[in-house]
Structure 1
């Protein structure tokens, strides 16, 4: 593979050396798929006492990928020098940078209750607090389960909210009068959605209460559930509350979890999350793809910086279960997951031993990450042997054939085809 600062002439597969993030919620040592991918990708020494949370493939400044075998050349700088690798559609729409970021996540304990700002808010937050909000982009995202995967996502329905307020006195005591206005009717004719206004009031009041009040309420809740567990089977949400309280004692996020949908994904299920939607990943491993941003507004289940006022003001307060994507089969081995976002889509490929598959040339770039197995990726001008931990960039206009002598599991991320084909 020849990679220089010169103009790009023929499509090539570019092998990448990727970054990781050692957040405290990540899985420990070799229990983390992220650590195993990182070891194979970088030849890194794994610390069994370290948390390995995220494996990043992309150009974002917080975790940039480098070109394998070439000292200190980042994928971002190489793209800037060779913008044709992105294709005209991508350059015209997003400039000389990859518009998406691909990750692998190994979640050992709950992430923070969070939301990602839309473009307007992201620009404002980046201008006001550049050290906290490191870019001005929005961050719609999608999680595609590699294992059983659990998350909190979006607010429960009005009917479920009524049940919570009636059956969990600890929340009712904290939010007080805010919960008395919970109304089931929605008057859409004059544009007034009372459900949303009441939910906003309840959630904002809960998240704004001081830590001492929350601590006492949680103590009462945990004691009550522990007693009741001796005489009845707790609901999955009640069990989750006890689990979260052990992870994050005296944290308002434990109570807030009762207001969110508890989503359980099987391997191959995907959950997408738009801007300003509340969520928190709880446990499991996944492929995650998003617009190229690292903006997160947090307000619970975290020791990190929290911005409760911003979070409460930015949320959509949409109620009901999120959509779960099952993927659309492109052929025997490939399923495509297309969220309603322009920046990305993800293909899952599970190749049988001895099988092969072709990814047609597209007018936009792709990145690949190999999760398990061994095989070869070929273009018209090169061949790369790949195995667990391999990450590669394929320029626009590159047809990629994948052959394998063993079972091979890998993922491709690229720009949403609807954008590429209908610019």
Structure 2
């Protein structure tokens, strides 16, 4: 693809004459640019070629896959913790710097709202073992945390996010319902011991006998008590829990949650996060299903691979199932104790090959597109920027760029591992070549433009 938008050069065109009808000069035309992206080798990733992240990164960067290393996250965006680079000249230029040369590639409305930066961060995750029980701060708390601990909380932005399953994907998300809380206190004596008799009676009887009963306060109280226990007390609690469950599984089939807790403890021995899993909803997503997570909502990803999209932030407050630094007090102070299972998003069909996922956040939306051999899909021009990631197959990527009566065609061969930044107001046509072509597009939530 001819990349006229380079680090040290700009696209030059002959100045068109004055249009006597429009009384203005035509604007410069922007073209898509290929990106080289970053990888994270966290210990919870999937090893070697078994990792989708490893395969995408190797194809994107031209590097080899190390079979002895875990590959966890493939980052696409402008965040300084894992920047992408514009493949548009002799010298590497970060996507953020490339955008800053001409912020109009973002579209006027995006620049007015978020400045000269992408409002979203796009990732692929390969989860081999559980990653931390965590939550992300809202904007107000993010500013406080970044100011007080900038080395830990790298930015001052919130981080609402969405996970879209590429494979069967397991997660913990939000607090269990009132009924499940009662069942847990009846079936998990190790946790029931944390609750005084009077409180246990009130919880188990509930609103039928206590008009001032508050389920939110009860689950907050018990969860807080658990998370603040000493390491020795947690180790003893887990030891007794394991001994009991190992005896009981000889007589009965353990529940899904009991099996999960034993699995988490085997990955992170004596970790309070294994017990904390009893308090959180267990969710299993099939490929093509998604969940969204707002600020201050507790969650943990357990296994599988997914597309993850979020506001441009890397702020994570952790409290278990990790070797990284914990901030339990902050997490407990920020959590929302909303109870009940999360909504599973199926997406909305845009055409026979494309499904759109619209979370309740204005920063982003995600399109999943599977194009059969020789078929084509057109992505109409939109008022904001887009990122395109090709995850399987081969095809043609055609940017039909128009400005008044000028049309510029740019046709590229694309395949797995390729990533493009597409400027605002750019129509894209994609055709599958030899096999089915699979891709994901991330852009600013279309509701943002409708609501203006």
TM-score range, shorter chain: over 0.9
Deviates more, 1:298-307 or 1:64-73: 64-73
Partner residue in 2 for 1:36: 55
Residue 421 (structure 1) shift: 2.8
TM-score in terms of structure 1 length: 0.96
Counterparts of 1:289-300 in structure 2 under 5 Å? 289-300=309-320
Residue 68 (structure 1) shift: 1.9
Does the aligned pair in 1 maintain the 2:4–2:10 contact within 8 Å?
Answer: no
For residues 102-135 of structure 1, the C-alpha deviation after alignment (integer angstroms, 9 at most, x for no partner) is: 1000000001000000000000000000000000
Partner residue in 1 for 2:373: 353
Query: Counterparts of 1:336 and 1:179 in 2: how far apart (Å)?
Result: 45
Larger Rg: 2
Residues 1:414 and 2:443 are matched in the alignment: yes
Query: Counterparts of 1:186 and 1:139 in 2: how far apart (Å)?
Result: 39
Residues 1:383 and 2:411 are matched in the alignment: yes
Partner residue in 2 for 1:163: 183
Query: Counterparts of 1:44 and 1:258 in 2: how far apart (Å)?
Result: 41
Residues 1:151 and 2:180 are matched in the alignment: no
Does the aligned pair in 2 maintain the 1:7–1:81 contact within 8 Å?
Answer: no
Partner residue in 1 for 2:80: 61
For residues 363-392 of structure 1, the C-alpha deviation after alignment (integer angstroms, 9 at most, x for no partner) is: 000001111101111112312211111111
2:269 to 229, 232, 249: 249
TM-score in terms of structure 2 length: 0.90
Secondary structure of 1:154's match? strand
Partner residue in 2 for 1:226: 246
Query: Counterparts of 1:56 and 1:10 in 2: how far apart (Å)?
Result: 27
Does the aligned pair in 1 maintain the 2:397–2:414 contact within 8 Å?
Answer: yes
Residues 1:75 and 2:95 are matched in the alignment: yes
For residues 159-191 of structure 1, the C-alpha deviation after alignment (integer angstroms, 9 at most, x for no partner) is: 10011011101112245566565373399x9xx
For residues 60-88 of structure 1, the C-alpha deviation after alignment (integer angstroms, 9 at most, x for no partner) is: 01000001253220100011111000001
Residue 246 (structure 1) shift: 0.3
Query: Counterparts of 2:137 and 2:436 in 1: how far apart (Å)?
Result: 40
For residues 347-376 of structure 1, the C-alpha deviation after alignment (integer angstroms, 9 at most, x for no partner) is: 000111111000000000000111110111
Does the aligned pair in 1 maintain the 2:385–2:423 contact within 8 Å?
Answer: yes
2:207 to 185, 191, 205: 185
1:4 to 3, 6, 9: 6
Does the aligned pair in 1 maintain the 2:6–2:88 contact within 8 Å?
Answer: no
Does the aligned pair in 2 maintain the 1:102–1:288 contact within 8 Å?
Answer: yes
Query: In the superposition, relative to structure 1, how do residues 84 and 179 fare at CA in structure 2: closer, same or farther (>3 Å)?
Result: farther
Counterparts of 1:188-207 in structure 2 under 5 Å? 194-207=214-227
RMSD: 1.7
Residue 281 (structure 1) shift: 0.3
Partner residue in 1 for 2:428: 400
Partner residue in 1 for 2:308: 288
Unaligned regions of 5+ residues in structure 2, if any?
Answer: 12-27, 401-408
Unaligned regions of 5+ residues in structure 1, if any?
Answer: none
For residues 314-335 of structure 1, the C-alpha deviation after alignment (integer angstroms, 9 at most, x for no partner) is: 0110000001110000000000
Secondary structure of 1:223's match? helix
Does the aligned pair in 2 maintain the 1:179–1:198 contact within 8 Å?
Answer: no
Counterparts of 1:305-344 in structure 2 under 5 Å? 305-344=325-364
Does the aligned pair in 2 maintain the 1:151–1:280 contact within 8 Å?
Answer: yes
For residues 6-27 of structure 1, the C-alpha deviation after alignment (integer angstroms, 9 at most, x for no partner) is: 6672131110000011111000
Does the aligned pair in 2 maintain the 1:150–1:284 contact within 8 Å?
Answer: yes
Query: Counterparts of 1:258 and 1:363 in 2: how far apart (Å)?
Result: 44
User: Deviating runs (4+, > 6 A) in structure 1?
Assistant: none
Does the aligned pair in 2 maintain the 1:174–1:213 contact within 8 Å?
Answer: no
Partner residue in 2 for 1:133: 153
Residue 195 (structure 1) shift: 1.2
Does the aligned pair in 1 maintain the 2:5–2:88 contact within 8 Å?
Answer: no
Query: In the superposition, relative to structure 1, how do residues 193 and 174 fare at CA in structure 2: closer, same or farther (>3 Å)?
Result: closer
Query: In the superposition, relative to structure 1, how do residues 307 and 356 fare at CA in structure 2: closer, same or farther (>3 Å)?
Result: same
Residue 340 (structure 1) shift: 0.3
For residues 131-169 of structure 1, the C-alpha deviation after alignment (integer angstroms, 9 at most, x for no partner) is: 000000000000000000000000000110011011101
